[in-house]
Amino acid sequence: MMFQQIFKPKKQSPTQIKGSLVEDNAIKYLQAKKLKLVTRNFTGRQGEIDLIMKDRDIFVFIEVRLRKSSAYGLAVETVTPAKQAKIIKTATLYLQKNNLTDKVACRFDVIATNSIDNAKNLQYCWIPNAFQLENY
């Protein structure tokens, strides 16, 4: 009984469920564009990287964004300079942990959707190379 309590899966909030669904669909979308999934939800002290994929020999660190409505702006606009800095720091940690620093090329992409009303027909806005390491 105690074993089940310790390893019982965490219950996800409705927001987390939607986020996972959007990430799942983003993976499928990007795989159709020939990217290969390396890992998802890599977490470091500075934050989390939603998806790490490879585009040929390039490591691609991807922020997935969802906005229910565009009334207050588009989903891609929510990747602020502060968020970009956290992603870059977390990506640096990933590269260090995997002994890849100075060995691989990388880029930072954003993929966003502004609605989740119909999960089967999500419209994605994919911005390859959305921001640069040189900015930080």
What is the chain's mean pLDDT, rounded? Answer: 84
DSSP 78: G
CATH code given to domain 12-135: 3.40.1350.10
Predicted confidence at residue 92, as pLDDT, reads 95
Query: What is the layout of strands, in order, in the sheet containing 125-131?
Result: 36-43, 48-55, 58-66, 105-113, 125-131
Predicted confidence at residue 4, as pLDDT, reads 52
Q: pLDDT of 42-87, one tens digit each?
A: 999 989 999 999 999 999 999 998 876 565 666 777 788 999 999 9
Confidence of residue 123 (pLDDT cuts 50, 70, 90): confident
Predicted confidence at residue 136, as pLDDT, reads 42
- Domain ranges in the chain are 12-135
Q: Measured between alpha carbons, how far is residue 52 from residues 40, 58, 102 in Å?
A: 6, 10, 17
Measured CA to CA, the distance from residue 34 to residue 27 in angstroms comes to 10
DSSP 134: G
